[in-house]
Amino acid sequence: MHAPITIRDVARLAEVHPGTVSRALNPQTRSLVNSDTAARVLAAADELGYRPNSMARGLKTSRSFTVGVLVPDLTNPLFPPIVRGIDDRLTLDGYTPLLVNTDSDPERERASIETMLARQVDGFIAATARLDVEPLDEAIARGLPVVLVNRTFEDGSISACTVDDQRGSQLAVQHILGLGHTRIGYVAGPQNVSTGHRRYLGFVAAMEAAGIEIAPGDVSFAAAFRELAGAQACAELLRCDPGLTAIVTANDRLAIGCYDTLAQLGLRCPQDISVIGFNDMLFIDRLRPPLSSVRVPQREIGYAAADLLLDQLTDGSAGPREVLLEPSLVVRGSTAAPSLRDAAAGPGA
């Protein structure tokens, strides 16, 4: 438990002034110093095991090389890959993420942002679903760059990185149509989060593009991205139109809920009804049947978001940008051609 080694210890050993040590140790300013001296300093620093105190550096430069990362709940399987991607990218440039779970609670959110501001974070990445940016207003006012993940801000004044949700819905619909389905239901997510809304819009657009009319009862809105809400929405769908042969969903967990309802009604998937999810969650291929889904490159989204932020951090003039990543279709056992069931019996009964 020896005393911490400072820049002055290194200076003493290398027989130079502390200021020179600072210059020699910083790659940015190393060119300002004689390479021999620099080498000597490096050697001395190495010998002593010197490690710059980043709080002192931060105090002086008013940059902390930390980034606030807001997620609703790390326990939601959606977020770990995103956070991992963020971490991977930030680490490359010497930044450290400060992770916070907000539980989508405005008060907790406010408090967290407060704390991070006090910690002098250099920017924020908000992987939260809620639509308002207000809690981040002060950060923005202070000139701190902010990047949104999984959502966008309407006027485009804030950088954002998301998957192309509409395109994802289109992939799902086209897959289902390609199998020959025409009686298609949709379990939508909550419309007050952008993901839910845009996936819904994508579904509508894709159906229209195919010239298929969406009957009033063919869409049911789940109150949350949860299994139970999905099960309820699915039940409602089938009550309105028992003749559906396929259900497109806005999220894998909603699709799991659909499985529950189908099982309860004695309907088989995919023989009686096809189901397709969205996100391609870990282990979703282990369900019975394995769920077809729209894959979202979560880790890449996090990585790209961090990339966006670093851009703005490094190059002050870099304006806000939006990055849209491509989803892809993963076909598994939950989708098949329609009417393996008795087509002649028809719907209605």
Partner DNA sequence: CTGTTAGCGCATTCAT
Partner DNA sequence: ATGAATGCGCTAACAG
CB 112 within 8 A of CB 155: no
Handedness of CA 74, 77, 82, 84 (dihedral sign): positive
Q: Does 17 bind DNA (CB under 7 A)?
A: yes
Q: Tell whether residue 52 is a contact of DNA (CB under 7 A).
A: yes
With CB under 5 to 8 Å by kind, the binding choice for 341 among a copy of itself, DNA, none is: none
60 lies in the site for DNA, by CB under 7 A: yes
* Complex with a copy of itself: residue 98 or 228, whichever CB lies closer: 98
Rule CB under 7 A: choose which of 12, 42, 48, 57 binds DNA. Answer: 57
Nearest residue to 279 via CA among 163, 160, 153, 129: 163
Q: Given the rule CB under 7 A, which of 29-37, 84-92, 97-105, 259-267 is the region that contacts DNA?
A: 29-37
Among the listed residues 72, 97, 135, 338, the single contact to a copy of itself using CB under 8 A:
97
Site for a copy of itself in 203-262 (CB under 8 A): 256
Q: 26, 34, 35, 75: which one contacts a copy of itself (CB under 8 A)?
A: 75
- Selection from DNA, a copy of itself, none that 239 binds (CB < 5 to 8 A by kind) is none
**Contact status: 93 vs DNA (CB under 7 A):** no
By the rule CB under 7 A, 115 interacts with DNA = no
Q: Which is nearer to DNA, 40 or 197 (CB)?
A: 40
Q: Is residue 114 within the footprint of a copy of itself (CB under 8 A)?
A: yes
Q: Which does 267 bind (CB under 5 to 8 A by kind): DNA, a copy of itself, none?
A: none
Which residue in 31, 141, 211, 342 binds a copy of itself (CB under 8 A)? 141
Residue 8 or 239 having the CB closest to DNA: 8
Q: Can you tell me which of 34, 75, 115, 192 binds DNA, judged by CB under 7 A?
A: 34
CB of 296 to DNA, least distance (A): 40
Instruction: Tokens for 1, please give them.
Output: 């438990």
Is the bond preceding residue 216 a cis peptide, omega within 30 degrees? no
Of 156, 157, 104, give the one whose Cα is nearest residue 126: 104
- Residue 343 interface partner, choices a copy of itself, DNA, none, CB cut-off 5-8 Å depending on type: none
Q: Which does 29 bind (CB under 5 to 8 A by kind): DNA, a copy of itself, none?
A: DNA
Residue 182 as a binder of a copy of itself (CB under 8 A): the answer is: no
Q: Applying CB under 7 A, which of residues 39, 43, 59, 209 lies at the interface with DNA?
A: 59
Which residues between 275 and 314 bind DNA (CB under 7 A)? none
User: Residues in the site for DNA, rule: CB under 7 A?
Assistant: 4, 6-8, 15-20, 22-23, 25-26, 28-29, 32-34, 36-38, 50, 52-53, 56-57, 59-62
